C-alpha cells in the first residue's frame, strides 16, 4: 500500500480536533480534513482569533495556526471529505445509553453506526476506517458488517486506534505519547492497513512506542486503561475518609505508598472525585460488557469504583453543610473552578456540577468562577441534570468573570478545579471580604492548609 496522502476525521470535538491538528502539523504531505455537522463548531475552528477555538488545550492554538490552511482543513462537507480520503477516522461521541437495553451502562453507538452507513454510501474507492472513539470490544465487527454489505464493491479495512489523551495535556500527549496502539486484522490485508497507519505516526513517534495488536485487544485496552486509572482515584479517596476518622494524613499515606516502585505516585491525589467524559462512561461500559457475558463478580468489582466516586462527591457537599452549622440556606458558597480538571474547558461529569446540585437542594446561593468555562455552560450543565427548572437555577446560581467578586461576601469557598492561578490569589484580601467565620473547602488539594490557618481560615478539606 502506498503512503497515505489524504485523511478525513468525522468529529471535531475534544479528540478529533487536537489529534488531527497534530497529525497535520507533523505530516505536511498529508491533507487532513476534519468534518462535523455542527456548523458553529466548525466556524469556531476556522475563526481567525485562535482564542475562540472550541477546545481549549495549552499549545493547541499554535499547532492549529501552523497547519490550518496549509494541509489542515475544517469543513461541514462530510460526504466530500469521505469521498476524497484514503483513511477515515471516526471520532464521534459514544455516550452512555439513556434508553432501552443497557440503559445507564452500555455505550450508545448510534453515532458510530450513522458514520459507518454514511461511509458505506459515499465511498467509491477502498478505504481504511479507523475507530478513534472509545468503543466496546467487538464494535469493529458491527462496523465491518455495515461496510461490507453496501453493494458498492469497495473494500474496507477496520483499525482500532484508541486515544489515550488526558485533557489539559492533550497536545503534549499527542506529541510525545507513552504509546500509540493500533489494532487490526491478522491477515495480510489487515497488516498492510496497520502499517499504513504506523507510517503516519512514525513521522514523529519512535516505532518502539507504536504497539500493534489484533483489533479486539486494542478496543478492550482503552476501556481497561481508563478503568485502572479511575480505580486508583477511588482507592485513595476511600482511604481519605478513613484517614479523617483515624487522624492519619492521606497526603502522607499517598506519598509513602507512592514511593513503592510497584505502585508509583501517579493518580494518588485525594480529591472530590474524578470527572470528565471518559472514566465513568468507560467503567460503566466495562460493567455492562462483563454482565452481558455473565461475569457478575467482575461487573460488581468495577461498579464499586463508580459507587465510591459518587460517595466522595456527596460527602464533600455534606461536609460543607455540616461545617456551616448544618444549614446553607440563603448562604453564598463560592465555587472556584467548574471544569473537571485544570487546563481544559470541558465540564463533562465535573464534580462541581454534582456538588452544586446537592447544595442547591439545601437552598444555597452558588457563585461560580472558572477561567475557561463560560456562563452558558454552567447553566447548561445544571439544567441538563433536570433537578430543578431553569428559572430556579438562574436565581440560585451566579457566574462571575472576576474571582474576587465571586468570593466577596461568601460564607465559604469550595475549590473544585486545580487551576494553577488559584494558588497565586491574594488570600488575605479574599478572607477580609468574606463573611465570618470563613471556611475554605479544598476539593482538589491545591491550597496550603497551614498558610490558610495563619490568616484565620477554618480549613476543612477532604483528606486533611
Contact at 8 Å (CB) between 411 and 439?
A: yes
Contact at 8 Å (CB) between 253 and 425?
A: no
Residue closest to 284 by CA, chosen among 271, 300, 270, 268: 300
Q: Tally Cβ neighbours within 10 Å of residue 248.
A: 14
Separation of alpha carbons 154 and 147, rounded Å: 8
- HEC sequence for 390-442: HHHHHHHEEECCCHHHHHCCCCEEEECCCCHHHHHCCHHHHHHCCCCCCEEEE
Helices 250-258/215-246 angle, 10° precision: 140
Contact at 8 Å (CB) between 334 and 340?
A: no
Please tell me whether residue 448 adopts helix, strand or coil conformation. Answer: coil
CA 383 to chain centre: 20
Query: Which three three-digit cell numbers place residue 300?
Result: 460488581
Residue closest to 441 by CA, chosen among 350, 323, 361, 273: 323
Q: Is 278 a catalytic residue?
A: yes
Query: Which three three-digit cell numbers place residue 78?
Result: 462530510
Separation of alpha carbons 100 and 39, rounded Å: 30
Contact at 8 Å (CB) between 456 and 438?
A: yes
Separation of alpha carbons 37 and 78, rounded Å: 8
Q: Please list the residues that pair with 87 across neighbouring strands.
A: 7, 128
User: What does the DSSP 8-state code read for residue 376?
Assistant: H
Active site residues: 278
Amino acid at each position: 500500500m502506498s503512503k497515505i496522502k489524504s485523511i478525513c476525521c468525522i468529529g471535531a470535538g475534544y479528540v478529533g480536533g487536537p489529534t488531527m491538528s497534530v497529525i497535520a502539523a507533523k505530516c505536511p504531505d498529508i491533507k487532513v480534513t476534519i468534518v462535523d455537522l455542527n456548523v458553529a463548531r466548525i466556524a469556531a475552528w476556522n475563526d481567525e482569533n485562535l482564542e475562540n477555538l472550541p477546545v481549549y488545550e495549552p499549545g493547541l492554538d499554535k499547532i492549529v495556526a501552523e497547519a490550518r490552511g496549509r494541509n489542515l482543513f475544517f469543513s461541514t462537507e462530510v460526504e466530500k471529505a469521505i469521498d476524497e480520503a484514503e483513511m477515515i477516522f471516526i471520532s464521534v461521541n459514544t455516550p452512555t445509553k439513556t434508553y432501552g437495553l443497557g440503559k445507564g451502562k452500555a455505550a450508545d453507538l448510534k453515532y458510530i453506526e450513522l458514520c459507518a452507513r454514511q461511509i458505506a454510501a459515499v465511498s467509491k474507492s477502498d478505504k481504511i476506517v479507523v475507530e478513534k472513539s472509545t468503543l466496546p470490544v467487538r464494535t469493529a465487527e458491527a462496523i465491518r458488517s455495515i461496510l461490507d454489505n453496501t453493494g458498492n464493491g469497495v473494500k474496507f479495512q477496520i483499525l482500532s486506534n484508541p486515544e489515550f489523551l488526558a485533557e489539559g495535556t492533550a497536545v503534549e500527549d499527542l506529541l510525545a505519547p507513552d504509546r500509540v496502539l493500533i489494532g487490526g486484522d491478522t491477515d495480510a490485508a489487515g497488516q498492510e492497513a496497520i502499517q499504513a497507519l504506523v507510517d503516519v505516526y512514525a513521522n514523529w513517534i519512535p516505532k518502539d512506542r507504536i504497539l500493534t495488536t489484533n483489533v479486539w485487544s486494542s478496543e478492550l485496552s482503552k476501556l481497561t486503561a481508563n478503568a485502572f486509572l479511575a480505580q486508583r482515584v477511588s482507592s485513595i479517596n476511600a482511604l481519605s475518609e478513613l484517614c479523617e476518622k483515624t487522624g492519619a494524613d492521606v497526603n502522607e499515606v499517598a506519598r509513602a505508598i507512592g514511593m513503592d516502585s510497584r505502585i508509583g505516585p501517579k493518580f494518588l491525589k485525594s480529591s472530590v472525585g474524578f470527572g470528565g467524559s471518559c472514566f465513568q462512561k468507560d467503567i460503566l461500559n466495562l460493567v455492562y460488557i462483563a454482565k452481558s457475558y455473565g461475569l457478575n463478580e467482575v461487573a460488581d468489582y468495577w461498579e464499586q469504583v463508580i459507587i465510591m466516586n459518587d460517595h466522595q462527591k456527596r460527602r464533600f457537599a455534606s461536609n460543607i453543610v455540616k461545617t456551616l452549622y448544618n444549614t446553607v440556606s440563603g448562604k453564598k458558597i463560592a465555587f472556584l473552578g467548574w471544569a473537571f480538571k485544570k487546563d481544559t474547558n470541558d465540564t463533562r461529569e465535573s464534580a462541581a456540577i454534582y456538588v452544586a446540585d446537592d447544595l442547591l437542594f439545601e437552598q444555597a446561593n452558588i457563585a461560580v468562577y472558572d477561567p475557561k468555562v463560560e456562563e452558558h455552560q454552567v447553566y447548561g450543565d445544571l439544567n441538563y441534570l433536570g433537578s430543578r427548572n431553569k428559572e430556579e437555577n438562574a436565581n440560585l446560581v451566579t457566574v462571575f468573570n472576576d474571582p474576587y467578586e465571586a468570593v466577596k461576601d461568601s460564607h465559604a469557598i469550595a475549590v473544585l478545579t486545580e487551576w494553577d492561578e488559584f494558588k497565586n490569589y491574594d488570600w488575605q484580601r479574599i478572607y477580609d471580604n468574606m463573611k465570618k467565620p470563613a471556611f475554605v473547602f479544598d476539593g482538589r488539594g491545591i491550597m496550603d492548609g497551614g498558610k490558610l490557618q495563619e490568616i484565620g481560615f477554618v480549613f476543612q478539606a477532604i483528606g486533611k
